[in-house]
């Protein structure tokens, strides 16, 4: 699947959405004034590159959800995108999964595995630049893993983020962290994300005690991410070469 050169605005769910698919490229597109700018859901081998996600509630979302025919999303690369000024209040219908996306989220990875977030420009997102979290709701799907695994954050150019978070106790959090939150937020469940150092390694954790516990159980604390190598699969994600060749003709 190849999505190239699209412009989408005003969606109460995802502006650009790919779900239950594989071998995907989303590139050179503009997503603005949506709840979710670009969403990759329950999909594998996806490349999201060269896009502008702006004025959404959340810029780029990589989700894995339970109770769908196709399960097990992962092996996703989000690279060389502009994710800026995502500050639109959430206007999703009640009950929609993206209704829980916090206003001002740059890039969000939820319950996914082997995700690389690299070389993006992430700036002016008031809640956080990068959020790595578990699925927050109850579920009964035995096939489903609600936790994030093997998320690698590298080489992103991080501007001013986390200065007006949509979180309870925001004023106290801002005071504790010196006026703005660190650029990476992890909920404390699953595997902690890893980073390549510098600003990309500056993080904080909610220290949630269990999946579905909710923010009332959070015990926020600073976190410094470790720096192992990326864990993306050996075959690079993206649309098949045969599809690229057909378009080039």
Phi/psi of residue 172, each to 5°?
-70, -40
**What span, in angstroms and rounded, lies between the C-alpha atoms of 87 and 210?**
29
User: Model-level pTM?
Assistant: 0.94
Q: Residue with structure tokens 């990476």?
A: 184
- Give pLDDT, residue 231: 54
- Cα–Cα dist 150/56, whole Å: 26
* 58, 178, 179 from 220: Cα distances, Å: 22, 14, 15
CB neighbour list of residue 124: distance below 8 Å, 6 or more residues apart: 84, 85, 86, 87, 159, 160, 161
Name beta bridge partners: 36. Answer: 14, 58
Q: Is 33 left (phi over 0), alpha (psi -120 to 50) or beta?
A: left
Q: Which helix (H) or strand (E) holds 77?
A: strand 74-79
Query: What's the sign of the alpha-carbon dihedral 28, 120, 16, 245?
Result: positive
Query: Cα separation of 191 and 205, whole Å?
Result: 12
74 has which bridge partners?
44, 113
Eight-state DSSP code of residue 76: E
3 state DSSP class of 50: coil
Domain boundaries, the chain: 2-236
State residue 234's pLDDT score. 46
* DSSP 8-state secondary structure symbol assigned to residue 102: P
Alpha-carbon torsion 114, 118, 122, 127, what sign? positive
Angle among Cα 124, 122, 165 to the nearest 5 degrees reads: 45
Tens-digit pLDDT profile for residues 196-216: 889 999 999 999 999 988 888
- Give the chain's residues under pLDDT 70: 228-236, 246-249
């Amino acid at each position: 699947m190849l999505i190239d050169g699209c412009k989408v605005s005003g969606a109460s769910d995802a502006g650009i959405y790919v779900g239950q698919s594989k071998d995907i490229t989303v590139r050179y597109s503009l997503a603005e004034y949506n709840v979710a700018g670009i969403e990759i859901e329950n999909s594998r081998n996806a490349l999201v590159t060269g896009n502008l996600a702006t004025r959404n509630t959340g810029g780029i979302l990589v989700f894995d959800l339970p109770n769908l025919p196709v399960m097990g999303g992962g092996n996703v690369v989000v690279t060389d995108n502009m994710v800026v000024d995502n500050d639109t209040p959430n206007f999703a219908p009640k009950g929609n999964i993206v209704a829980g996306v916090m206003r001002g989220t740059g890039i969000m990875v939820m319950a996914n595995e082997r995700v690389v977030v690299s070389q993006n420009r992430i700036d002016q997102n008031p809640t956080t630049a990068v959020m790595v979290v578990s699925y927050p709701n109850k579920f009964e799907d035995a096939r489903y893993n609600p936790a994030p695994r093997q998320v690698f954050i590298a080489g992103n150019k991080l501007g001013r983020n986390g200065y007006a978070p949509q979180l309870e106790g925001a004023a106290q959090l801002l005071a504790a962290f010196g006026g703005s939150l660190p650029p990476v937020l992890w909920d404390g469940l699953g595997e902690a994300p890893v980073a390549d150092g510098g600003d990309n390694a500056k993080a904080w954790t909610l220290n949630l005690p269990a999946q579905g516990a909710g923010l009332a159980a959070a015990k926020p604390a600073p976190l410094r991410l470790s720096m192992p190598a990326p864990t993306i699969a050996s075959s690079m994600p993206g649309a098949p070469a045969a599809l690229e060749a057909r378009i080039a003709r």
